[in-house]
Amino acid sequence: MKLIIANKSHVKYAQIISDTITESAKVRGTGIAKRTPEYIQKRLENGNAVIALDGDKFAGFCYIEVWGHEKFVANSGLIVHPDYRNQGLAKKIKKRIFELSREKFPDAKIFGITTGLAVMKMNYELGYKPVTFSELTDDPEFWKGCQTCKNFDILTRTERKMCLCTGMLYDGDKEKKVIKKEVNSKAFKRLKSIKESLFLKKKTNQ
């Protein structure tokens, strides 16, 4: 298994990456924004992505998006092909894309939004902290990317203040060294449960 910084030679994997993201959203039944093959292709070409390959077979992917004149970067689109799940690959990809972000954009704050408990754990171990959406980028282009998510109506109703996703931020100015801590899984699960209950209750009352 090789983790490679993507380039134009990997454009041929754009379709399968897009399809894998779409299928994952269906299986999980949670909010995952869709990404077209054309969208993925651009990320493969600009050197801001990591792709995992088992020989020539696609295994996993994640990319960097730059926002606010390089003040913020997001590690997005983390996906592992079903044939390679439950092997720790997602964690390796996440770590490599985090390192690439720090190498290319050392002064930027790194952030992400996710509903996935596993991703929250990985972020926490890398030094991210849960934050309100107001602490993330205010670039409207980033939030437009949420339009294909099934929970976009919640984000709209709350005027982009919160959603079922949890915002997490790594601030390089405050976290010069990555310190791994034991993740409190119950706390993350409780946070997800509270959010889901809150929004389901609001939807029922409308």
- Per residue in 38-55, pLDDT (tens digit) is 999 999 999 999 999 999
pLDDT at 176 over 70: no
Distance of CA 186 to the CA centre of its chain: 21
The predicted pLDDT at position 196 comes to 61
**What mean pLDDT value characterizes the chain?**
84
In this prediction, residue 177 carries a pLDDT of 46
Domains identified in the chain and CATH numbers: 2-205 (3.40.630.30)
Half-sphere exposure of 17 (CA within 13 A, CB side): 30
Share of the chain above pLDDT 90, in %: 48
- Kindly list the distances between the CA atom of residue 169 and the CA atoms of 17, 18, 109, 144, in Å, as whole numbers in the listed order: 25, 26, 7, 19
pLDDT at 84: 96
Identify whether the C-beta of residue 39 lies closer than 8 Å to the C-beta of residue 61: no
Q: Is the pLDDT of residue 94 over 50?
A: yes
**Is the pLDDT higher at 62 or at 114?**
62
pLDDT of 62 over the 80 cut: yes
Mean pLDDT confidence for 76-85: 93
**pLDDT > 70 in the chain, percent:** 81
CA distance 78 to 59: 11
Q: Which residues have a Cβ under 8 Å from the Cβ of 151 and sit 6 or more positions away?
A: 30, 31, 115, 163, 164, 165
